[in-house]
């Protein structure tokens, strides 16, 4: 279990509750993380709760519960937020009554991308595992906290030194819901070294 006293807010939300191994965030309307690409707007006001580390090899696990998400783009998940132009996130994002988008966003030097897959709206909880190997990163998801599947492998241009990582929740449109985080743990890196083609 992680010591949540090591975590600090970037944009503290108006309503939240932190217990020994449980964090609740009530999202505020019109909060989001996105930079430029496709939409051409910048939105950088979501609450982020993180801790710092210089550890080069580790994994961070967190469970998210989002039973209250109900409006387009309601979301919560894991994040590594370095500054407004350099960050990544993994989350389940409500879309409509039929499906949600399970996805990841990587933002390097002020430009965001978005990789998604559709999941059923009956899914109301998700585990994430965020792993670091120097300045490369991996995001995985799990339905049960046991079997993890890869969502994204990426490079962060500003992610080689001290980083901050943790959780976030937001509602980009006129909505609000309770996001619950639990089972947070930092551990030995579960993303193993590549065993195929050797480096050039």
Q: Where are the domains of the chain?
A: 4-187
Residue 10 to residue 170: CA distance in whole angstroms: 13
* DSSP 8-state class, residue 29: B
pLDDT at 1 over 90: no
90, 151 Cβ separation under 8 angstroms: yes
- Interior/surface letters 22-43, b for 16+ CB within 10 angstroms, e for the rest: ebbbbbbeebbbbbeeeeeeeb
Task: For the domain made up of 4-187, give the CATH fold.
Answer: Jelly Rolls (2.60.120)
Residues 6+ apart with CB under 8 A from 191: 59, 131, 132, 133, 138
CA distances 119 to 2, 19, 82, 116, Å, are: 29, 30, 29, 10
pTM, to two decimals: 0.96
The 10s digit of each residue's pLDDT in 88-101 is: 999 999 999 999 99
The 10s digit of each residue's pLDDT in 15-62 is: 999 998 899 999 999 999 999 999 899 999 999 999 999 999 999 999
């Amino acid at each position: 279990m992680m010591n949540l006293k090591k975590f600090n807010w970037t944009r503290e939300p108006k309503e939240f509750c932190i217990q020994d191994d449980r964090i609740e965030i009530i999202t505020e309307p019109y909060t989001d993380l996105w930079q430029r690409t496709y939409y051409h707007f910048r939105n950088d006001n979501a609450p982020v709760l993180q801790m710092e580390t210089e550890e080069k090899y580790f994994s961070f696990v967190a469970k998210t519960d989002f039973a209250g998400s109900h409006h387009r783009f309601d979301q919560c998940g894991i994040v590594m937020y370095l500054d407004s132009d350099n960050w990544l996130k993994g989350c389940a994002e409500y879309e409509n009554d039929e499906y949600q988008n399970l996805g990841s966003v990587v933002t390097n030097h002020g430009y965001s991308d978005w990789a998604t897959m559709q999941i059923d709206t009956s899914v109301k909880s998700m585990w994430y595992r965020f792993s670091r190997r120097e300045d490369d990163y991996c995001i995985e998801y799990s339905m049960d906290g046991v079997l993890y599947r890869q969502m994204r492998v990426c490079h962060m241009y500003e992610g080689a030194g001290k980083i901050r990582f943790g959780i976030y929740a937001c509602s980009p449109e006129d909505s609000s819901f309770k996001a619950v985080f639990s089972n947070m743990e930092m551990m030995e890196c579960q993303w193993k070294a590549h065993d195929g083609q050797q480096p050039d």
